[in-house]
């Protein structure tokens, strides 16, 4: 018998649509780090948690309308992107006026309410990661900081698995160059 954490996303989505809050909580556990990271790239660090939480609440409410449950990660990614793009300072007031359903969901689904533990300690590495193009930085963060499996990264970003692997491979090379410094030809320009 498959445990909940081994269940395919599609099975969890269908269970959540049928009212199983634990199934949705498992989806939140799987994808919340990616949602918050995506929000962070659009709205910044200060509002990423709020936008991420809002995106997950919106996804829960819209779940019965999902046309293809197997495409849940890409669907959630689209919701997050749209929510982050619509985010503005005037909406922070709206967030304080949450409806009772939102509060009930926050109480029932623990994974929605607790902030992500920041694993990012090495400042130089973080600076280097932030300087990479997002096409490389996002999969690197999801893989190494959030320990997300490659297939989930591909599903969330809506790109083929081979592309994720290539971006991680190439991103690691770029990161190594950033951390070690620019290649020698650019670094020693004062001696030329």
Rounded CA-CA distance 150/146 in Å is: 11
Lowest-confidence region among 74-78, 89-93, 128-132, 183-187: 183-187
The rounded mean pLDDT for the chain is 80
pLDDT category, 189, cuts 50, 70, 90? very low
pLDDT at 110 over 70: no
Distance from chain centroid for Cα 33: 4
pTM to 2 decimal places: 0.66
CA atoms within 13 A on the CB side of 68: 6
DSSP H helical ranges for 63-192: 72-86, 91-95, 100-108, 110-113, 123-131, 134-140, 150-157, 161-180, 184-187
139-165: average pLDDT: 89
Exposed e or buried b for every residue in 30-42, given b needs 16+ CB within 10 A? bbbbbbbbbbbeb
Q: Would you call 54 helix, strand, or coil by DSSP?
A: helix
With respect to CATH, is domain 119-183 assigned 1.10.10.10? yes
The predicted-structure confidence for 48-99, as pLDDT tens digits, reads as follows 999 999 999 999 999 999 999 999 999 999 999 999 988 854 565 566 665 6
Q: What's the angle, vertex CA 21, arms to CA 19 and CA 25, rounded to 5?
A: 145
30-41: average pLDDT: 93
User: In the prediction, which pLDDT does 190 show?
Assistant: 40
What's 1-117's CATH class? mainly alpha
Structural domain boundaries in the chain: 1-117, 119-183
Rounded CA-CA distance 56/59 in Å is: 5
Rounded CA-CA distance 164/17 in Å is: 29
Query: Cβ(79)–Cβ(40) under 8 Å?
Result: no
User: In the prediction, which pLDDT does 147 show?
Assistant: 82
* 1-117 and 119-183 share one fold: no
User: In the prediction, which pLDDT does 5 show?
Assistant: 60
pLDDT at 180 over 90: no
Rounded CA-CA distance 38/62 in Å is: 19
> Which comes out higher in pLDDT, residue 80 or 3?
80
């Amino acid at each position: 018998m498959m445990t909940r954490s081994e269940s395919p996303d599609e099975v969890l989505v269908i269970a959540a649509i049928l009212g199983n809050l634990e199934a949705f909580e498992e989806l939140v556990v799987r994808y919340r780090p990616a949602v918050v990271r995506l929000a962070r790239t659009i709205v910044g660090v200060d509002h990423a948690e709020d936008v991420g939480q809002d995106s997950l609440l919106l996804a829960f409410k819209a779940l019965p309308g999902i046309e293809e449950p197997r495409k849940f990660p890409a669907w959630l990614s689209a919701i997050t992107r749209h929510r982050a793009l619509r985010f503005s300072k005037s909406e922070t007031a709206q967030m304080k006026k949450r409806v009772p359903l939102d509060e009930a969901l926050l109480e029932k689904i623990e994974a929605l309410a607790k902030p992500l533990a920041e694993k990012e300690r090495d400042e130089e590495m973080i600076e280097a990661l932030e300087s990479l193009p997002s096409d490389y930085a996002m999969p690197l963060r999801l893989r190494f900081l959030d320990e997300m499996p490659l297939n989930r990264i591909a599903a969330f970003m809506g790109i083929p698995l081979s592309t994720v692997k290539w971006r991680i491979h190439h991103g690691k090379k770029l990161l190594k160059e950033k951390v070690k410094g620019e290649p020698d030809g650019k670094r020693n320009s004062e001696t030329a």
